[in-house]
Amino acid sequence: MEEQKTEGQRLAEKLTFEIKSRWETIGENDRDAIVAFAEQYKRFIDKGKTEREFNAECLSILKEQGFMDIEAALLEGRRLKAGDKVYQNNRGKSLVFAIVGRVSIKEGVNIVGAHIDSPRIDLKTNPLYEDGGFAIFDTHYYGGIKHYQWTTIPLAMHGVVFNKNGEKQTVRIGEDEDDPVFVITDLLPHLAQDQMQKKANEFVRGEELDVLAGSEPFKDEKVKEKVKLTILNALNQKYGVTEENFASAEIEFVPAHKARDVGLDRSLIGAYGHDDRCCAYAAFRATLECAEASERGGIPEKTVVCLLTDKEEIGSMGNTGAQSRLFENFIAYLCSQTLDRYSDIDLRLALNRSAMLSTDVNAAYDPNFGDVFDKKTASYCGKGLALSKYTGVRGKVGGSDANAEFLQKVQSILDRHGVRWQFGNLGKVDKGGGGTIAQHAANLGVDTLDCGIPVLSMHSPFEVISKIDLWTAYRGYAAFLKDA
């Protein structure tokens, strides 16, 4: 027989609030769906390890599903109607796509927005040199990394380079089992007496993150840098490039490992680039779900938009980043192709009445470093979708602080759809901080909330997320697109 609850117990139940592990709230069938979704995600991010590759993977699916190029439609003067599916591929590095809704764009649009770039090691523009019998690639790191984490792990070489004839060559070395990989060396402990006394940010300096490219000399006494020539020759045979072509190339070194299950219960996923491709993937799939529903006659009420941007890890600048006019232009295109007459004031109206989830990852509570987190407001792996009312550093500086009204609206949508949410504040006050693309959309007048997946070891070569948080994000984003 159940014990009678005391008055205090009943009152506590009514008035207090506890966030449980999401795993405790699901049935066996749910678990199968969660695991299947995680498998699809793992395969997807193994193929999309750079912003270009992730963009290309998404784009090929969009084309398969009948999305059309909005700029082509614009140039042909083609009008758009409810249910039409359009995309804008921005220089192969950022992507925005939409399903036109039933009501006028002047009612605003519902947006999920993520970034698809991740911290990594970029090649310099004149990178190859020879020292100590090695050919070495000189690099410049991209994004906020702890330098030392990128040494002594297998790296793969991804990117694009133009050959002598101006033809674009796609580089991808180190992903197949029998491909060679690359590595940044580190000092042996025996000689690291001085190194070990240094602060972590000087332990391995940015300029010391150079990548081993090879060691076999070209057999010709007359040649000065023989190993360098071997490597240039190999690159020339494979891609038709010469040393000069590196001046325009975009080559990124990323961890060569694949996404793997973590833990005996396989509840977690370890991979490179969860930040922010786990949210990008969940947002992408949620938007595709709207497209599928639309095909079956369930055209969304408001236009739904998915925004996948580049350059977030270096401040969202440039014409592929969220500070550019990419998103604004896309909404302008939609206005021009769906309204009787285009006017700037209609565009402003549409932006000001729009709502966005800035779908970026959050710092998961890490028991190894518990003291930097405020346990009451931290996000936890396995507890669902993390809502961050604000970001920023020190006194919330530089953060986008969502309005209470909008936060309440999002929470009630999630509650209505049975999507579990949790808090997501980045650490204790004055312990650090960060930002996302939220502010850039918010500055256009869009109601914006940061809302993402908790990650362990963020910005490291092997970040960890929970499968159930990935799933919950996907369900949450779909609910928002439909109902916001």
Task: List interacting residues with Mn ion (CB under 5 A).
Answer: 275-276, 360
Task: Name the residue nearer to Mn ion (CB basis): 51 or 275.
Answer: 275
Q: What number of residues does the chain have?
A: 484
Q: Give the rounded distance of the alpha carbon of 478 from its chain centre.
A: 18
Nearest residue (CB) to Mn ion, 251 versus 361:
361
Distances (CA, A) of 18 to 287, 364, 378: 31, 17, 13
Least distance from Mn ion to the Cβ atom of residue 198, Å: 25
**Closest CB to Mn ion: residue number:** 276
d(CA 251, CA 249): 6
3-state secondary structure 174-209: CCCCCCCCECCCCCCHHHCCCHHHCCHHHHCCHHHC
Nearer to Mn ion, 56 or 361 (CB): 361
In the complex, the smallest distance separating the C-beta of residue 361 from Mn ion, rounded to whole angstroms, is: 5
Q: How many CA atoms lie within 13 A of 252 on its CB side?
A: 19
- C-alpha–C-alpha distance, residues 51 and 57, integer Å: 10
Cβ closest to Mn ion, residue 53 vs residue 276: 276
Rank residues 324 and 359 by Cβ distance to Mn ion and give the closer one.
359
Q: Which is nearer to Mn ion, 57 or 275 (CB)?
A: 275
Closer residue to Mn ion in complex, CB, 346/450: 450
Which CB sits closer to Mn ion, 435 or 476?
A: 435
Residue 175: what residue type? E
SS3 106: helix
Minimum distance from residue 20 beta carbon to Mn ion (Å): 26
The least distance separating Mn ion from the CB of residue 114, rounded to whole angstroms, comes to 8
User: What is the nearest approach in angstroms of Mn ion to the Cβ of residue 1?
Assistant: 51
| Buried b / exposed e along 424-460 (16+ C-beta atoms within 10 A) | bbbbeeeeebbbbbbbbbbebebbbbbbbbbbbbbbb
Listing DSSP states for 143-181 in one string gives: SS--GGGGSSS-EEEEEEEE-TTS-EEEEEES-STTS--
Helix axes 326-338, 344-352, angle to 10 degrees: 120
Q: How far is the CB of 311 from Mn ion (least distance, A)?
A: 11
Closest approach of Mn ion to the CB of residue 70, in Å? 26
CB of 436 to Mn ion, least distance (A): 6
